[in-house]
Amino acid sequence: MSPKPAQPEPVVRRAAVVGCGDISAQHFGAIETLDGVELAGVVDTDADRRAAASAEHGVPGYASLGELLAAGGIDVVHLCTPHNTHAPLAQEALARGVNVLTEKPVAHTLADAEALAEASRAAFAEHGTQLGVCFQNRYNAPVLALRELLDSGSLGRILGANATVMWHRTPEYYAARPWRATWAGSGGGLLMNQAIHTLDLLQWLVGPAVMVGGAASTRALAGAIEVEDTADLLLEHTTADGGRVRSVFYATNANGINAPVTLDIVTEGAALSLRGELTVRYADGRVDVIAEAGVLAGERSYWGASHRLLIADFYASLGAERPFWIGAEEATAALRLIKDVYASSYAPGNWV
C-alpha cells in the first residue's frame, strides 16, 4: 500500500488589535471565531486599557505599533484607533509587510487617504500585502439582496433615492474620547464618525456620486464640539446604465433616540426600503421582505451586525491575486463626498 501524501500544515495568521476602545470588541469577537487566526498581541497608548485587554485576552500588550512590529511574528493588524492615526499606522504596518484592516474612515484628511491608497497599491504589487477598510454594512443580508436586485436589471432604471441617519449623541460621548470632538482628531463629526457608513451604501448602491451639494452645521452640541452634528446633502449619481439620478441624504446626532437607519431606492419596477430588513414593493403589487440574518444585542444594535462577515472575508483574501474589494481607494469615495460638503460649509481649515 502506497503511503498517503503528506498534508500541508494549516496556515495560522497571527493578529493584533491596535486600539482597545469601544469598536475593538467587534474585532476581538471576530478573531476568536475564525479558524486559522489567533490573537497574538494588543496595542494601546493608554496603559490601563492596554493592561486590561492584555489580561482579558491572555496576550502581550504593547504601547505602540512600532513596538509590536519590532517584536515580529504578526501577520495582520486591526486598527481601531482615532481617525487621525489610521493612515500613518496603516502605512507603518504595510511598510513592514503586515496586512492591515482599519476601521473607517480610511483617513481623517483626503490627502492622507490618497497617500495611503498609493502606498497600499505598492505594497500589494510588491508583496501581496492587503489593506481593508471596515464598511461592514455592505455585508448586511438585506443590503446584499438589494444590490443583487439592482444588478439584475429586472427592476428597470433607478428613479431616485434617499437616506437618513437620525442618532443621539451627548456632550459626555465626546468628552469620553475628546478626539471625536475635533477636526484635528476626527477630521469631522457626524459625517465622519456615524453617517459615513450610510453615505457609503448610498453611493455604492445607486452609483458613484459625481456631484454633491450640502451643508454641515452644529445645532445641538455647540460649545461641546467643534465639528458638525447635523448635515443635509443632495447628490447626483452616475448609474450602471450611464444615466444620472439624484439622491437626498439627511443625518443628525441631535435626534432624541438612536433611530434605525433608513435607505430608500425607487426604480421603474419597485420601491425598495431598508429599515434593518429590506422591503420590496413591486409595481404589480407583490411584496417581499428580506430580514437581517444576525442582529447585535443591546443598546448598540443599531450599529449593524456584519463586522464578523467582513473580517472573515478579509482573512480569506490574504494571499489572493486581487486586492481586498474595500480598500483605500474604494473607501475614499465616501470621504471625498464628505470633504466636499465641508468645503461648502466652512472656511478652509483642518477639515481638509
Element housing 263 (H / E): strand 262-267
- Owning domain of residue 96: 13-136
Residue 296 has a pLDDT of 46
How do residues 269-287 score in pLDDT, each as one tens digit? 999 999 999 999 999 999 9
Instruction: Choose among 5, 29, 28: nearest CA to 16.
Output: 28
Give the pLDDT mean for 289-317: 76
Same domain, yes or no: 182 and 57: no
> What CATH number corresponds to the domain at position 36?
3.40.50.720
% of the chain beyond a pLDDT of 90: 90
How do residues 186-212 score in pLDDT, each as one tens digit? 999 999 999 999 999 999 999 999 989
The reply to whether 6 falls in a domain is no
Q: Give the number of other Cβ atoms within 10 Å of residue 238's Cβ.
A: 16
Instruction: Choose among 130, 134, 174, 56: nearest CA to 321.
Output: 130
> What CATH number corresponds to the domain at position 154?
3.30.360.10
pLDDT band at 159 (very low <50, low <70, confident <90, very high): very high
The reply to whether 296 falls in a domain is yes
Instruction: Indicate the residue among 107, 136, 165 that finishes a domain.
Output: 136
Residue 8 has a pLDDT of 55
Give the pLDDT mean for 304-329: 94
Question: Measuring CA to CA, how many Å separate 229 from each of 31, 37, 162, 186, 279?
Answer: 33, 38, 19, 13, 29
Q: Is the pLDDT of residue 263 over 70?
A: yes
pLDDT band at 3 (very low <50, low <70, confident <90, very high): low
Same domain, yes or no: 113 and 146: no
Instruction: Indicate the residue among 115, 136, 157 that finishes a domain.
Output: 136
Element housing 244 (H / E): strand 244-252
Same domain, yes or no: 333 and 241: yes
Helix, strand, or coil here: 260? coil
How do residues 114-137 score in pLDDT, each as one tens digit? 999 999 999 999 999 999 999 999
- Provide the number of structural domains found in the chain: 2
d(CA 296, CA 299): 9
The reply to whether 237 falls in a domain is yes
Residue 349 has a pLDDT of 74
Q: Is the pLDDT of residue 301 over 50?
A: no
How high is the mean pLDDT of the chain? 94
Instruction: Indicate the residue among 79, 101, 136 that finishes a domain.
Output: 136
